[in-house]
Chain A
């Protein structure tokens, strides 16, 4: 009886962490390949997710309120993680444009590193952007009543966490708190490593 209980405990593995702000997916969802270009003009694909933890946020550079708020918050998360001992590698933070028409590589190269020099900006054509957003449950579209060259874009405000296998692991809905997200990230990372 005791042996059975011990075996059961051993097989069931560690318990998933209780998160303060994020929602952990019951099972990680692998992402299939996508083709984007980063803010330096280099390809950004599934390969860039491998061996890195990645926070992704979807926005556009003409967005003056929600996007800078989230990017500044993510920079705070990064700074909090930089101060943690024992963290071998910081997660990468990727801003994916939902406005590829206007968000040129040149614009992204000034917008994204402004918030943190290590941040990555990525964009692609409509098909490639949708290929990634659909896999991550991100919605976006031009706001109703928009003019051809002067428009707003509605977009999911969630921050997505991808694991070093390139799988969708957790989602952080709004409002975002840098302390809570940093703590949740460490808990998810510890859990992931214990289950490998």
Chain B
């Protein structure tokens, strides 16, 4: 019964996510957070092999209530996070979501995610394309 249910969920999930051949996602991971941390961050490399820019406008995840596009910047020695309404991946280019730069910010879920857990994300682009990503929870800088 459990397996059937799981298969159904996976199929439903697959229907929701249509792979975009020109957009590749590599090395997606979520940083394990301390117990009772309120916020978490996720990182990945987005590669666009297409001839037009890809514009990431929204990210959703069944693991998190809300996923925000953010960028950390250090200006004159002061670190700040800036909300991004979109992230543009240039044609034939790549954007790295990495610590200290672009990242996804999520309120931590009630059940703590720990190293080894896997989390799904759905990336929505301005042209309506969606890409499904599975990220590992990792402990790393």
Contacts and interface: CB of A to CB of B under 8 A. Distances in A.
Interface string B25-49: 0000001011111111100000000
Contacts of B100: 65-66, 69, 174-175
Contacts, number: 77
Chain B binding surface SS class: strand
Interface string A58-84: 000111111011001100100000000
Contact size range, B: 20 to 34
A20 interface: no
A154 B37 contact: no
Contacts of B80: 143, 152, 154
Contact of A115 (B34, B39, B70): B34
Interface in B26-80: 31, 33-41, 70, 72, 74, 77-80
A18 B39 CA distance: 39
A111 interface: yes
B111 interface: no
Interface residues of A, number: 27
Interface string B95-124: 000011001011000000000000000000
Contact of B79 (A61, A64, A114, A174): A174
Most B C-beta atoms less than 10 A away, residue of A152, A158, A173: A152
A156 B34 contact: no
Contacts of B72: 65-66
B79 A157 contact: yes
Interface in B120-140: 140
Given A72-B141, A152-B81, A65 B99 contact: yes
Interface of B: 31, 33-41, 70, 72, 74, 77-81, 99-100, 103, 105-106, 140-141
9 closest residue pairs by CB, A with B: A114-B34, A64-B39, A64-B41, A157-B79, A154-B80, A72-B141, A69-B99, A66-B79, A111-B34
